[in-house]
Amino acid sequence: MTAPSNPALLITGARPYGEQPQDLLIAEGRIAAVGPEASSHAEQLRAQGTQVETLEAEGQIALPGLVDLHTHLREPGREDAETVATGSRAAALGGFTAVHAMANSSPVADTAGVVEQVHRLGLDAGYTEVYPVGAVTVGLAGEQLAELGAMAESSAQVRMFSDDGHCVHNPVLMRRALEYVKTFDGFIAQHAQEPALTGWGTETPAQMNEGCVSAELGLPGWPAVAEEAIIARDVLLAQHVGSRLHVCHVSTRGSVEIIRWAKERGIDVTAEVTPHHLILTDELVRSYDPVYKVNPPLRTEADVHALREGLADGTIDVIGTDHAPHPTEAKECEWSQAAMGMTGLETALSVVQMTMVETGLIDWRRVAEITSAKPAEIYRHTHQGRPLAAGEAANLILVDPAARRTVDPLQHASKGRNSPFRGMELPGEVRATVLNGRAVVREGALV
C-alpha cells in the first residue's frame, strides 16, 4: 500500500513495549527517529517547511499495529451484518493495522474475482489493511479444491486459505490443499471440527461444550475430541507433505498438548486462540443467552488455564479475534436457533491485558509478539508487525493501560452488537492508531 502524503507526527513520552519513555518521529510513512534525536529531527523538518503535528502520549504504551489473522467482515453478501468499511473502522479502533477477512461471505471468496473485490473494498475504506482469505474448497463444501493458484496470483496476493466455519474433513482433500499451497509459500488455516462427532448436518447439531453443564441443561454436547482429532490428523499430514498448517481458534487443553507435541517434533504448525476463550467458560451457557453461543464453544475453567499457559509459553503463537458480527435478530432468539459467533475487534487487546498481562503471565513486549509480530510473520508481511525502530514502516498504536471502560456494544463501530463483554469493565484503551504514517485514530476516536 502506498503511504499517503501526511504531516509528520511527533509522539512524545510514549513507552515502547511498556518500557522507558521515548519520543518517536513519523514522517513519509515511516518511523524517522526514536529517542532524543526525534525532537531535534522534528525541528529540522519544521525549519524546512514541513508540517509537524505533536501527539502527547505520556503514560501510554507504544506497540506495533495489531495484526488479526481471523476476522469476518461479511461483505460481499451479508452487509446487514458487517461491511468491509464498518469492520475496518472497528479494527482501527481496536488497534489493528491489518486484518485478514475470512472466506465465508456470499458469494464465498473462492475465486480471484471475489478476493480482489474484498481487497479493493479494504483499500477504499482506508482504516486498516484488509487481506482476503481464500476458501480451500469451492463454496466451502469440502468436495473440490477452489482456485488456490488463481487467488494467489491475483492482485490480492492471497497466501492464507481456510474454510473457516467448516472443517476440511476429507483427509485426501486436506493433503492436496497442503501440497498445493507449498508452491507459493501459502498455508492452510484449519477450522478443526470433526463433523460426525458434532452432529454437523443433522437435526441435532452440538450446541455447546460436552460436559457437566451440557448434561444438566440437556443440550447436545460438542466433545473436545472433535477438535483434537482433526488437529492430530492435520499436524501429521503437514509433516508428511512438509507444508505449513495454522490451527484456528484452539479451545481445549488437549489441543494445546497436541500442538506442543507437534512443535517438539519440528512440524511446521502455528496456532491461535481467541480472546473470549481466554476468559469465558461454559458455565455462562446456563443463562441461555445466545451471545455466548460460539464455534468452537466456550469450554471449562481447566481449558481456559491451559490456553493461557500455552499462549504464555509459545505453544500457541497468536491471538485471533474470530470477530463474527451478526444482525440482532440472529442472536436475540432461542438458543437452538441462534447463530454462532461473537464480535471482538474492539475489545481484543483489553482482554489480553486483563487475562495475560495483569495476571503476570506475559509482559507488553510479549503482547507485541502474539498480536503483531508473529501473525505478520506467519502471513509473510514485510511492513506489518515490525519493531518500533527508525526506518520501519509506521504502523503502530498507543495504548492507555490505566484506562477502564464499561463495554457498550451500541457504541462500537462494528455493526455487530453481539459482544460477550457487554456491561463488563475492561482495562486499557487504544488512544491512537497509525496506519502507514497516517493517524486513523486519535484520542480514542476515528479521524
Residue 326 annotated as part of some ligand binding site: yes
Cα separation, 279 vs 118, in Å, equals: 32
Q: How far apart are CA 133 and CA 158, in angstroms?
A: 6
Q: Which of 322, 363, 400, 408 is catalytic?
A: 322
Return the amino acid letter for 444.
G
Question: Residue 27 corresponds to which amino acid?
Answer: A
381 annotated as ligand-binding: no
**Hunting for cell 460460539 — which residue is that?**
294
Q: What is the dihedral of CA 341, 346, 349, 355, to 10 degrees?
A: -50
Per DSSP, the residues of 160-175 read EE--TTS----HHHHH
User: CA–CA separation, 433 vs 57, rounded Å?
Assistant: 12
* C-alpha torsion angle, residues 87, 130, 234, 293 (rounded to 10): 0
Which cell numbers hold the place of 244? Answer: 505449513
Query: What radius of gyration, in Å, describes the C-alpha atoms of the chain?
Result: 21
Distance CA 167, CA 184 (A): 23
Q: How far apart are CA 209 and CA 223, in angstroms?
A: 6
Residue 323 labelled as part of a binding site = no
The answer to whether the annotation marks 282 as part of a ligand binding site is no
To the question of whether residue 164 is assigned a binding role by annotation, the answer is: yes
Q: In whole angstroms, what is the distance from residue 232 CA to residue 159 CA?
A: 23
- Three-class secondary structure of residue 26 per DSSP: strand
191 is in an annotated binding site: yes
Burial 336-351 (b: 16+ CB within 10 A, else e): eebbbbbbbbbbbbbb
Catalytic-residue membership of 268? no
Strand order in the sheet with 318-319: 160-161, 187-190, 245-247, 269-273, 318-319
The answer to whether residues 146 and 127 touch, using CB atoms and an 8 Å cutoff, is no
Give the span between the Cα atoms of 387 and 31, in whole angstroms. Answer: 10
List the end-to-end C-alpha distance of the chain, in Å, as a whole number.
Answer: 19
What crossing angle do the helices spanning 84-94 and 112-125 adopt, rounded to 10°?
A: 50
Q: Is 209 annotated as a binding residue?
A: no
Sign of the dihedral through C-alpha 132, 136, 139, 141: negative
Annotated binding site: 70, 72-74, 104, 164, 191, 249, 295, 322, 326
Annotated binding site for Zn(2+): 70, 72, 164, 191, 249, 322
Q: Which residues are catalytic?
A: 322
Annotated binding site for substrate: 72-74, 104, 295, 326
